[in-house]
Amino acid sequence: MHWLFKRLCARVFRTGTLLVTDPSGELHRFGDASGDPIHIHVKSTAAERAILRDPDLGFPEMFMAEEVDFIEGDPLGFVKLAYANLGRAGTRPPWVTGLMNGLRYAMRRFQQINTASRSRSNVQHHYDLSGELYRLFLDEDMQYSCAYFPRPDMTLEEAQIAKKHHLAAKLLLQPEHNVLDIGCGWGGLGLYLARSFDVNVLGITLSDEQHAVASERAQSSGLDQQVHFEIRDYRKLQERFDRIVSVGMFEHVGVNHYRTFFNQCARLLKPDGVMVLHSIGRSEPPSSTAAFIRKYIFPGGYIPALSEVLPAIEKAGLKVTDVEILQLHYAETLKAWRERFMANRDQARKIYDERFCRMWEFYLAASEAAFRWSDLMVFQIQIARSKDSIPMTRDYMVDTERRLAASGSSSARRPAPPRKPSAPARRKRQES
């Protein structure tokens, strides 16, 4: 084992148990021997050097390249162990860590210049993957965002229905309302709102794959006169809407464009309009996007602190009428996704390849760990043009949500499942 790599491991892993088999086959122990052991095999000196250069990016890349394997434990356990130790010791002297974090923070605006063309490219990078991949681990309705667990014993399917109830209750929907769904995904939320509240929905996305599936679902469910899905950038819209909902899209806007986003929402909302924004956030001060996520998963993406979001809302002339923080709901959602993906890993490898599966495995594990043991959370912000648009108490939210749950909305009339292509083409693995 290279002496610098050994020093890195000794500096970081002071609690817990990390076992490392080095390229020569020698076993090294780090930590205080507590907890379940994580045993990794670092197969080459090149892998050691890559991890030394940038641990945050080097480790997952070497795992993807099969230059690092797990003998005991898995990526989730490894990231948990890393989080448990990061508060005690850094990988570098404090002044070096501070300098690097400062540079990453300064560079983030350059990394998030999300023009219309770049935004579409970024979205296609992730969301135009094979629909067959997402069907391996998502619920029947293809909800690719944080579920809501009012009861801990809920299945993923039940929690995703509860999430739709929860969002709908905050929208104060009335029949014939015109609703805009920014970042509509595969159409599940828009179809649910139309079916449950008799509203008209325009769902927009930048993903060809999602648009095709959503449109097919609208047609097959008989809602195509009420729900329309289009490939459109939110910046290009001119219509006015009674309600706006956006779930899991704001993370792709980029910090440079927050003012543009909310200024546009203010223009699109009618005077008595209401908006609900559902997004991943961080409970600590503003930071930067992890290198692995930025390079391989969500290019151009950024997870904001509320301190970055609320001022942009205020400057757009909009009023924040409700804020809710969901702490561990996404951790439980990601746990379900990760377990389902791992159970169907062989099928995923047939669609892509082993490298892709390792990338996806690490992505799901690292994401769950960040919500469970680090500073990530989900926020839902209710926004209005006028304070008079919202009742004085929150009772209406609870009442609506309970009524929807009691009526079995989303289960009484199930949406048509996403159509499976007759012969899904094998996709090439994603390249950096």
For residue range 159-216, list pLDDT tens digits in order: 999 999 999 999 999 999 999 999 999 999 999 999 999 999 999 999 999 999 999 9
Domain that holds residue 218: 116-407
Output the six-digit token pair for 28: 């090294």
Classify residue 275: in a domain, yes or no: yes
- Please check whether residues 125 and 228 belong to one and the same domain: yes
Least confident window among 80-94, 101-115, 361-375: 101-115
Q: Is the four-CA dihedral 116, 133, 82, 146 of positive or negative sign?
A: positive
How far apart (Å, rounded) are the C-alpha atoms in residues 299 and 297?
A: 6
Residue 423, pLDDT above cutoff 50? no
Q: What is the pTM of this model?
A: 0.87
CATH assignment at residue 293: 3.40.50.150
Task: Give how far Cα 310 sits from Cα of 222, 247, 286, 313, 383, Å.
Answer: 39, 17, 13, 5, 10
- Between the CA atoms of 427, 66, 45 and 97, what dihedral angle is there, to the nearest 10 degrees? 80
- Please check whether residues 345 and 253 belong to one and the same domain: yes
> How many structural domains compose the chain?
2
Phi, psi of 263 (to 5 degrees): -60, -40
Q: Is the four-CA dihedral 8, 10, 16, 19 of positive or negative sign?
A: positive
Classify residue 15: in a domain, yes or no: yes
**If you ran DSSP here, which 8-state letter would residue 303 be given?**
P
- Please check whether residues 126 and 271 belong to one and the same domain: yes
For residue range 352-408, list pLDDT tens digits in order: 999 999 999 999 999 999 999 999 999 999 999 998 999 999 999 999 999 999 987
- Please check whether residues 272 and 175 belong to one and the same domain: yes
Q: Output the DSSP codes for 276-292.
A: EEEEEEESSS-----HH
Task: Give how far Cα 226 sits from Cα of 164, 199, 220, Å.
Answer: 18, 7, 13
